[in-house]
Structure 1
Amino acid sequence: MRFRACVENVPTFCKIMQVIDRLQKKCIIQFKPDVMRIICLSDANEAGIQVWSEIKVSTLFNEYRIQSNADNIISMNIASASLLHALQGIQNALATSGTGSGLGGEEVLMKLAKKNDQALLNFALTTPTRTGRLQSLTYDVRIEVLRALDMTKINEPLCPDADTLVLLPSLPTLRSPVERLRALSSTLFVRANIGPPTKLLLEVTGDENEVKVKVEFGVKYVQINRQEEEDAEAPGKDKERLYSVPIVAKSFVKFLNCHIVNGHVIAAICHRHCLILYFYIGSAGADAGGVLTFYIPSLVDDGPM
């Protein structure tokens, strides 16, 4: 089993791990020939969120080499905070040296290693200081290598077809109203129709049903593939109907931490079942640098709609 790569885009890798660390203490990272996957399972965090992400190798790395007996796939359990600490240390060293921001030009080597029979993900950087001397910086992040058999037992959630998909407003725009709604209730109702006009409603009911507050946004209905387009155009489809899913408000707040990464979000509402949030790194669609997919389960049945 061999793996090594140069981390070309340290800032983006660091920001992605900031999002993951705020959600879960441990995650699964799977390196494949073309993509890196980051997986967070719902049984390991109180918010009930699952994250299944695929990030293109070219978004973060160059000189990427991987070899294993499991179809050149290497999977590992890793502490999110430990990996984040290493990346932040490297980013700070790059900033201090004045050589750059980790967007290319500096060689940050990442590779599999072992010390005292402990598997590690090793990071190494050699960079000049402001005085012109060279400094070497290394970080060893403890990992648990997972067998291919272990990974066959971990499956992405099966969800029904989305009833509606909408392009969310920018995440910084959502943060303030969502924080205020969360202060009123632990349950947040996310509702959207097909339209046009297409609207997104975020709604809470206060304690003892005394207060109802909702925030409405004008949004755009989107199609991820041809099937969604055909479903939207199906005869008799009620385009005014608000499809709804009640979720833990804290879950949505945790998702909004993605605002630190440049990207776009498509929200898929599976009525009364779950909310799926597709965070596209950079551009949306095929040109995206990767997709972080958040699955947030329905909390309660919100009655007939």
Structure 2
Amino acid sequence: MRFHSDLKNIRTFAKLTAAFSSLEKLVWLRLSDETAHFTVVPDTGSQIWSTLPMDFLFENCTIQSAEPGNTINLELSLQPLHRALKSAQNSISASLRLTKKKGVPVLSMTITTTTSRPSHANAHAPPRPSHDDPFGFDDDHDRTHLETSLRREHEKIITQDIPIRVLHPDTVASTVQPALQEPDVHIQLPPLLQLKSISDRFTRLALASGSGSSSSSSKSPRLEISANMHGGLRVRITTETADISSAWTDLDNPELDPAQLRVPIEEHPSTKFRDRGPDAWASVYVDGKDWSRVLSAGRLEGRVIACFCHNHSLVLYVYIPHYDDAGGDDAVLTYHVQAYSA
């Protein structure tokens, strides 16, 4: 089993690990010839499932495994991975290699960075040797080569090891992504950090009041999240003493691609919800604290499409922009939000 790759889009990779860390301390990473699968499945709460092209985060990659498609399944500790990526953000280059240290498998990240050279105000440049000096430099090419060599002497190599566990394919196969249903409502959410600020305020109000809807004061309150097919989104909290909501209007309900649908567009649930008018809301309840952790995906700064199945499920598609490659296609994270019916 072998894996070695240079890293690209390091800033994006660091933001990804920060988003994963908000839900869980560990992430499953399945590497293959074409894709990198990241899976975050806590014991309770929302889940993340994503499939990224290998060239989104890796380049000059070598991967070998006895499994079909050169598949390698790893469990990674997110905190050391995120710390290593933060160290690599301003580096000249960085690479990852699967190896062993004292018989224990690790992902070793090698980071090449530069250190500043001390300046000496009174230092004098050495005189240029004369042409009759047999050990002198008699052309600019040699001088340039020397200057390049001196610069390289000030490069710094940092190695950080990320603890991992190699997973058996059967272990990974036993965890299955939740089924996706055709949504009743799909809508582009407002900026997640704005939505998080309001949702967190509602959660604190419910906790301060002593009880949230369908929950006791010792548990996280449940927020009602609703949307319609006419650009409307609503967050609501009810307590014994208050009923508070915040609403957004004129949001985008993206057009669906008929070629991607299981049913004709005129029979799709979202078409029926649109035809019923702006008073037709699809709603779910979410755990306030878990919802706050999900909304931490706002640090990725991409657009987010929410898909509601009324009284059943809520799925967020978080599009990840290429920070280091403006012309690259966005990748997508799929959040299966833990949702409850009314």
* Pair in the same fold by TM > 0.5: yes
Who wins on radius of gyration, i.e. which is larger? 2
Report the 3-state secondary structure (helix = DSSP H, G, I; strand = E; otherwise coil) of the residue aligned with 1:221.
Answer: coil
Q: Which amino acid aligns with 2:72?
A: I
Cα distance in 2 for residues equivalent to 1:21 and 1:114: 25
SS at match of 2:22: helix
CA distance in 1 between partners of 2:195 and 2:302 (Å): 14
Q: Tell me the amino acid that sits aligned with residue 188 of structure 1.
A: L
Is structure 2 residue 331 aligned with structure 1 residue 290? Answer: yes
Mapped partners of 1:267, 1:234: distance in 2 = 17
Question: Which of 102, 115, 128 is the aligned partner of 2:101?
Answer: 115
SS of alignment partner, residue 56 of structure 2: helix
Are positions 1:74 and 2:91 aligned together? no
User: Which consecutive unaligned segments of at least 5 residues does structure 1 have?
Assistant: 95-101
Q: 1:183-194, aligned counterparts within 5 Å?
A: 183-185=204-206, 186-194=221-229
Q: Distance in 2 between matches of 1:290 and 1:159?
A: 19
What 5-or-longer segments of structure 2 have no aligned partner?
118-150, 207-220, 323-327
CA distance in 1, matches of 2:274, 2:170: 46
The aligned counterpart of 2:48 is 51
Q: What are the Cα deviations for residues 236-294 of structure 1, in whole angstroms up to 9, with x where unaligned?
A: 952431010001011221122112213110001111112111101128xxx74311111
Do the aligned partners of 2:24 and 2:40 also contact (CA within 8 Å) in 1?
A: yes
Do the aligned residues in 2 keep the contact of 1:19 with 1:258 (CA within 8 Å)?
yes
Deviation of 1:73 (Å): 1.4
SS at match of 1:137: strand
Instruction: Kindly report structure 1 stretches of 4+ aligned residues shifted beyond 6 Å.
Output: none
User: Between Structure 1 and Structure 2, how many residues are aligned?
Assistant: 279
Amino acid across the alignment from 1:183: R
Q: Is the 8 A contact 2:22 2:294 kept in 1?
A: no
Distance 2:160 2:110 in 1: 7
Give the structure with the higher percent strand. 1
C-alpha separation in 2, matches of 1:250 and 1:89: 30
TM-score normalized with structure 1 length: 0.85
Partner AA of 1:271 in structure 2:
H
Q: How big is the alpha-carbon RMSD for the aligned residues of Structure 1 and Structure 2?
A: 2.1
Q: 1:199 aligned to 2:232? A: yes
User: Secondary structure at 2:234's aligned position in 1?
Assistant: strand
Q: TM-score, normalised by structure 2?
A: 0.76
Aligned residue number for residue 37 of structure 1? 37
Q: Describe the shift of the 1:235–1:216 C-alpha distance in structure 2 as closer, same or farther (beyond 3 A).
A: closer
Q: Is the Cα contact below 8 Å between 1:263 and 1:282 reproduced in 2?
A: yes
Q: Percent of pairs identical after alignment? A: 26
Name the residue aligned to 1:10. 10
Equivalences for 1:1-305 in 2 at 5 Å? Answer: 1-43=1-43, 45=44, 48-70=45-67, 71-91=69-89, 94=90, 106-131=92-117, 132=151, 133-185=154-206, 186-195=221-230, 198-206=231-239, 208=240, 210-218=241-249, 219-226=251-258, 227=261, 229-230=265-266, 231=268, 232-233=270-271, 237-240=275-278, 241-282=280-321, 288-299=329-340, 301-302=341-342
Greater alpha carbon shift after TM alignment, 158-167 vs 262-271: 158-167
Question: Displacement of 1:223 after TM fit?
Answer: 4.0
